[in-house]
Homo-oligomer: A and B are copies of this chain.
Amino acid sequence: MPTVVQNGSTTSKLSTAQRIERALIEEISAGELSPGQRLDETRLAERFGASRTPVREALSRLTAQGVLVPGEKRGVFIAEYTREELAQIFEAMHEIEAACARIASQRLNLLARSEIEAAQAECVRAAEAGDRNAYLRANEAFHETIYRATGNPYMAEMATEFRRRTGPFRAKKFRDTEDLIESAKSHQALIDDIFSEDSGTASSGMRAHMTESFMQALKAY
C-alpha cells in the first residue's frame, strides 16, 4: 500500500461525514451529478440515512475545495463555469500538471516507472474493453501515479483537487470507445516524454496532453 499523507484513507473506519464526502466526490467525478445542480441537505441526509449535520459537514468541506459553490442567497450547487472560467481553471491545471511532469521526470525511479506503466496498462485494457466507467477510474489513477512520482504529496494534492473540479467536464468528452482508445494513445506519448527524463520534454509533453484534453472538453460545452 502506498504511503498516505495526512487524511486517513488507509484507515478502515470512516465517519459518516467522510463517507458522504467521498460518495459525493465519486458521483461528481463520474459526472452523475451535473454542474449547476443544486444539492439539498435534507434529501442528501435521507438518501444517506443520516442527519443533516454530517451532510452539512461534507458539503462545507467540498465547498472549501471548490467542488461546490454556495448560491447567491442559499443552497449549494455543483460548480458550474462559463467557458472563460473553464479556460482559467484549465490554465491553472495546465501549470500544475506541467510542473508535476517536470519534477516527476527528474525523480523517476524504478517503482514510479512501473507504477505508471501498470496504470497505463489498465487504461489500455479498459479502453479496449470499451468500459467507460473503468476507463474514467483508470485515467484518474494514471495521473495520480505521475503526481506520486514527484515525491511531493502537496503537489499531488493540489493536482488532485483540480482534477476533481474539472471531473464533470472531462467526463463528458468520452462518448464512445474510440475516444477512450485515443485518450490511451495520448497517454503513451506522454509517458515517453516523461520517461525521457528531460524536464523540458516532459513538461511540454504534459502541456500538449492537457491542451488536447481541454479542447475536447470545450467541444462538449
Contacts and interface: CB of A to CB of B under 8 A. Distances in A.
A154 interface: yes
A141 interface: no
A151 B154 CA distance: 24
Interface stretch (A60-68, A123-131, A167-175, A213-221): A60-68
B56 A88 contact: no
Contacts of A66: 6, 157
A92 B154 contact: yes
How many chain copies does the complex carry? 2
A87 B7 CA distance: 20
Contacts of A152: 88, 91-92
Contacts of A88: 151-155
Interface residues of A, number: 31
Contacts of A99: 95, 99
A69 interface: yes
A147 to B, nearest CB: 11
Contacts of A89: 154
Contacts of A62: 64
Contacts of A115: none
Contacts of A53: 53
Closest 10 CB pairs of A and B: A64-B64, A61-B64, A95-B99, A92-B154, A88-B152, A92-B155, A89-B154, A57-B60, A6-B69, A88-B154
